[in-house]
Each structure stands twice: as structure tokens, then as C-alpha cells.
Amino acid sequence: MKAKDFLRKFCSLYLWGNLLAMALFVVGLCFGVKYGLEVYTHHGEGIEIPDLVNMRASNARVLLIEKGLDLVVADSGYNKRLPADCILAQSPGPGMKVKAGRVIYVTINSPSSPSFPIPDLIDNSSYREAEAKLTSLGFKLLPPKRITGERDWVYGIISRGRHVNTGDYVSIESPLTLIIGNGQYGEEEDIDYMDADEIEQQYIGGQDEFEEVETPDVNVDDVSDVQ
């Protein structure tokens, strides 16, 4: 009897109608949430970002404001072939679609070349080490000037005809000349190692400037005769 009641209720149109209604409700809810969010967030709609590279920052700002966007200068660089205040890069890039009010970050061209402090290289590094550090900073190096001293040891740095010291700010447009040793030593270094006798032999010639005069022997008897 119980089995027949269960089968009768299971095959009831009322039960299956409720189950179908619940399934349709869940499917409708999912589609409603999906398309409702797209409508609410304007999915697929946006403002296309123009190409701002090589454009003056002032002109680019006006263009973005007209489109409902904003511009912020995030960094600066230097390109001597481009005018100052010229945009070198932008983020997001051109062609992308963004919402209204989005900030576009740009890198502009500096009006002058950047300057960097001279690292601690003088009398503290070899030519190869100094060359690597300076070129990594963007400096251009001229052929080195060699002087008497330890081979390839850095004794000084010259920029546009003047000596620069550690910590001095120098433009990367100013080429640098490293003063390095040639591995040879002059006579002054040799003299430093001479003792006093060797220096006397070299500069006096080993000859005594004074002549010893011997006192003649005097006979007492000869003196008595003279008197």
C-alpha cells in the first residue's frame, strides 16, 4: 500500500510541475544576474584611448578631458631629438577601451639631459670596472689617457677638459675620459727606493768636495838654529 502511494505521488503532475518551476527559476536567475551586471557595468562599452606618443603633454591633456579621461605625468626621460614636454610613453596603451574618468599615465621628455653623480672610481678601481659602471649609467667614454702608474688603474676622470671628483654631478651628454696607468714608472719612483749612499753617488759623483791638507813636520833643532 505504501509503495503504491509513493509511486502515485512520484508520478504526480504537481510534483514535477514544482520541480520544473524551480529549475526555470534558477536558470532565469543566472541569466538575469549575468546580463544585469553587463547592463549595469556597461560591459563591452568604453572610451578608446588615443595614441599620445610624440604629442605635447598640454595638447594630450585637452584631448583626454574632451573624451572624459584624465592625464597624469608619472615619469620623465630624455631624448635630444624630441622637444621638451613631449610624451615618450603612455599607460594604458593606445587603442584600449576604458571607462570614463580613467587616468592615463605618461612619461614626458625632460628639457635637459639628466645628470648623475660620479661613482667612487678614482684610485679605487680598474679601467674595466670603471668602464662598466659608467656605461651602465649612460655615460659615453672617450679613449683613455695614460700616465705613469700601475697598469689600467684609474687615477682620475676628465669631463670637457676639467677634472671631476667622486660625487660630482655630470650630464650624461658630457663624454668622460679616464686617466689610467700605463704600467711604467719614472725615475722618481726609483729614487724613492735608493738609500742615502746611492743618492750621494748619483748626484755628487762619489767625489769628496774637500781636500785634506797635511801639516808638514817641523824639526825642533832647525827652529833653534834659525833663532
pLDDT digits (tens, 9 = 90+) for 160-192: 999 999 999 999 889 999 999 999 875 444 433
Stretch 30-44: mean pLDDT, rounded?
Answer: 63
**Confidence check: pLDDT of 40 > 80:** no
Q: Tens digit of pLDDT for each residue in 5-19?
A: 655 665 666 667 777
Pairwise pLDDT comparison (80 vs 48), residue with the higher score: 48
Q: Which one, of 54, 106, 57, lies nearest residue 79 by Cα?
A: 54
Which spans in the chain are helix H? 2-10, 13-41, 57-66, 127-137, 187-192, 196-204, 220-226
Residues of the chain above pLDDT 90, percent? 48
pLDDT for res 46: 83
Q: What is the pLDDT of residue 136?
A: 92
- Lowest mean per-residue pLDDT among 14-23, 30-39, 198-207, 210-219: 198-207
Does residue 96 surpass a pLDDT of 60? yes
Query: Average pLDDT, whole number, for the chain?
Result: 79
Q: What is the dihedral of CA 53, 55, 58, 60, to 10 degrees?
A: -60
Query: Residue 2 contacts by C-beta under 8 Å, 6 or more apart in sequence?
Result: none
The confidence score (pLDDT) of residue 42 equals: 53
Q: pLDDT tens, 104-159? A: 999 999 888 889 999 999 999 999 999 999 999 989 999 999 999 999 999 999 99
Centroid of chain to Cα 91: 22
Q: Which one-letter DSSP state was computed for residue 111?
A: S
Neighbours of 133 (CB within 10 A): 15
Segment 216-224 mean pLDDT:
48
Please determine, for residue 28, whether its predicted confidence score (pLDDT) is greater than 70: yes
Read off the pLDDT band of 77 (50, 70, 90): confident
